[in-house]
Amino acid sequence: MKKSFGAVSVLKDISLSVPRGGVVALIGPSGSGKSTLLRCLNLLTIPDSGVIRVDQRMMDFTNGHKLPADKELAAFRARTGMVFQNFNLFPHMSAVQNVMEGPVTVQKVERGAAREAALKLLEKVGLKDKADVAPDKLSGGQKQRVAIARALAMKPEVMLFDEATSALDPELAGEVLAVVRQLAAEGMTMVLVTHEMAFAREVADTVVFMRDGVVVEEGPAAQVIDAPRQPATLTFLSHFH
Ligand code: ADP
Ligand code: MG
């Protein structure tokens, strides 16, 4: 996959493969293209070229290929759930309304059924008692757990996390990491952009180190983090010890 912004090539023919049920941690310095890659996978950013496949469904952005219709993009986008650093909750909606919104408006699920499913998801992330609370009354860790429940409500095949704990104090980050850990144990396919090296090592099967829009090193989590083979990976990791 390739993506440029103006003259700046941000993703330089990058390729990423995640097996079903696999967890990939994407690490690398700021500006290396990690967020752009996740946004391309979720089609929030349209790649200049490349192919994205989720299970049997494929989106082809090969050079010169016609851009798919909005409806087709939306349907494909729903196959991947995205969680952002800054939560991006709808501020005027309660926790449960945030979780119901996608199923009701996009998937045309009946409100009662959507609410019931949303309450189950809030329970799963430990927030059953916060269903009717507005986002501004929640802690950062609680907001992020609502955001995870909201993404899960669309029944995605893949979950994408872009520095989901970077805005949180360690204690609140821990609540969110616990939910991610649980999803991994349940077999959810995930791509995690993270600066938490200990977490990446624990939860991810594979760690991918990106720099300047290319994959520099990719391998089993423990190997890349404990014994990187590329000098650039070692230099990057040395900032975390
Ligand atoms: P990372 O998430 O690894 O920090 P990003 O994917 O956010 O990296 O950004 C990679 C590069 O792409 C940066 O130089 C950034 O300034 C640039 N970039 C990202 N999004 C845009 C955009 N919408 N327009 C122009 N440049 C962008
Ligand atoms: Mg980023």
Which atom of ligand 1 is the closest one to the Cα of 45? 23
Say whether the ipTM exceeds 0.90.
yes
Distance (Å) from CA 115 to ligand 2 centroid: 32
pLDDT digits (tens, 9 = 90+) for 90-142: 999 999 999 999 999 999 999 999 999 999 999 999 999 999 999 999 999 99
Q: In this structure, which ligand is nearest to the CA of 45?
A: 1
3-state DSSP assignment of residue 91 = coil
Give the distance, in angstroms, between the CA of residue 222 and the centroid of all CA atoms in the same chain. Answer: 21
Cα-only R_g, the chain: 18
pLDDT digits (tens, 9 = 90+) for 198-220: 999 999 999 999 999 999 999 99
CA distance 231 to 90: 43
Residues 136-155 have a mean pLDDT of 97
Amino acid making up residue 96:
V
Over 70: is that where the pLDDT of 197 sits?
Answer: yes
Residue pair 192/24 in contact (Cβ under 8 Å)? The answer is yes
Q: Whose CA is nearest to atom 11 of ligand 1?
A: 31
pLDDT digits (tens, 9 = 90+) for 54-99: 988 888 888 767 788 888 888 889 899 999 999 999 999 999 999 9
